[in-house]
Structure 1
Amino acid sequence: MSSTLAQRLADVDARIADAARSAGRDPAELTRIVVTKFHPAQLVVDLAALGVRDVGENRQQEITAERAELADLDGVRWHFIGQVQTKKARAVRAASDAVHSVDRDRLADALHAADPDGNPLDVCVQVNLTDDPGRGGVAPAGTARLAEHIAARCPSLRLRGVMAVAPLGEAPAAAFTRLAASADAVRAVVPDAAWISAGMSGDFAEAIAAGATHLRIGTAITGARPAHG
């Protein structure tokens, strides 16, 4: 195992703790998800040996392959954080403990239909903080209505909160303030849906200040991503 990986993990965790204290928050409230996008499955093994319990993937093919390869690895929760095609909902649900990117009724319905009687799947409503309707996420004005649909129509999904990516070209703090408003709208529907999945390697301090509970951090911990096809 690379000592560099351990050092990067320790450095990021120290920065997270500093940001939490600066915001008047308890670092223990935060869940750090290590995004292993495009890295080999061995990285997850190495991270688990360092005490990492939450990892994230962006692509269905990768999370499916890694879960199969690491079937004997205990104690790790797998978070799917990428866009989900409805036709891949069954595979995503089978490989994930949480899906952060539910942004439309049809996807919620497909994830529920994939295993309606199975263990509840934790999900977040993804909110689009840009003006581009082609980006992933529901518009902020539609957040509560999607939450209502999940709560009423998809009993095998456990609505946990909201997720978003800060837009390029905008101060992250302003974007995350808007996400906090969407989080309030979801909690008005499901009061215990307290997750705010926000903040990546470059902006997690701003996300923490705005109330984020789940941080999705990749390259600051894993290093540069390998080339991929």
Structure 2
Amino acid sequence: MQTIAERLNSARKGIDQAANSAHRPPNSVKLLAVSKTKPVSDIIEAYEAGQRMFGENYVQEGVEKVQELSNLDNIEWHMIGPIQSNKTKVVAEHFDWVQSVDREKIARRLNEQRPESLPPLNVCIQVNVDDEDSKSGVSLSELASLVEFVSSQERLCLRGLMAIPKANPDDEQQRQTLSKLKELFDHYHTSLSNFDTLSVGMSSDMVEAIHHGSTMVRVGTAIFGKRDYPNR
């Protein structure tokens, strides 16, 4: 069985190969290791193998890990799951990034509750690019309004867009979805400072996402192995 370090190395090689085939510069795509449901010991193993960016989906679990691993230098924590309004305070106090902002109420609360002692909270707006009822994310028609609001918040730094495209699309649908995301990203990237992140692509669609401009891919199972899904 491969170690976490070996799996990380394989993931990085896959990213580099995809970037190279898309004629993109080395290191133009970051790897976010999604550690939800996995033990702290796995995160430490990945950290010791050079990984610094970790993504968590569940607020309580994520906060506990942030606290337990607070002694690790340069570790960067991303909240990538849905956030209820009663959980914004602990998220604002503990995470470096929130990639799942999808409405003004959540953005306002994160801004108000981000401690002054910390730098502004890095934020990505989650876009429901395929208009799926089962997924979180702002609709395309409401995106511009939310971009404007988040940009106006002093304790937030709008870094880009995040999306979870439809699972198992046909090739044409996948290209259309990823092209639309790239178009949206390019539009705001040219007009907003610090807007540098397009977080899209997981193990199954990573290569195509990188070919369509993704700057950050989110990989979990391929690094940490199959997950358990507790009731939360």
TM-score, normalised relative to structure 1:
0.93
Matched residue, 2:51: 52
CA distance in 2, matches of 1:214, 1:147: 19
Asked if residue 196 in structure 1 is aligned to residue 195 in structure 2, the reply is: no
Unaligned runs of 5+ in 2: none
C-alpha displacement at 1:158, in angstroms?
Answer: 0.2
Matched residue, 2:175: 173
Matched residue, 1:126: 126
Count of residues in Structure 1 that have an aligned counterpart in Structure 2: 227
Aligned-residue RMSD, C-alpha: 1.7
C-alpha displacement at 1:189, in angstroms?
Answer: 4.9
2:27 match: secondary structure: helix
C-alpha displacement at 1:9, in angstroms?
Answer: 1.1
Runs (4 or more) in structure 1 with deviation over 4 Å come to: none
CA distance in 2, matches of 1:68, 1:155: 25
| Higher mean C-alpha displacement, 101-110 vs 126-135 | 126-135
C-alpha displacement at 1:148, in angstroms?
Answer: 0.4
Percentage of pairs with the same residue:
35
Equivalences for residues 34-49 of structure 1 within 5 A? 34-49=33-48
Q: Are the counterparts in 2 of residues 200 and 217 from structure 1 also a CA contact under 8 Å? A: yes
Matched residue, 2:140: 140
Unaligned runs of 5+ in 1: none
CA distance in 2, matches of 1:227, 1:129: 25
Matched residue, 1:163: 162
CA distance in 1, matches of 2:93, 2:42: 21
Aligned partner of 1:142: which letter? E
1:123-173: per-residue Cα shift (whole Å, max 9, x none)? Answer: 001100222345211111222211101112x11100001000111242433
Q: Are the counterparts in 2 of residues 144 and 185 from structure 1 also a CA contact under 8 Å? A: no
CA distance in 2, matches of 1:162, 1:115: 20
Matched residue, 1:107: 106
Matched residue, 1:86: 85
Change (3 A) 1:101 1:189: farther
Matched residue, 2:16: 17
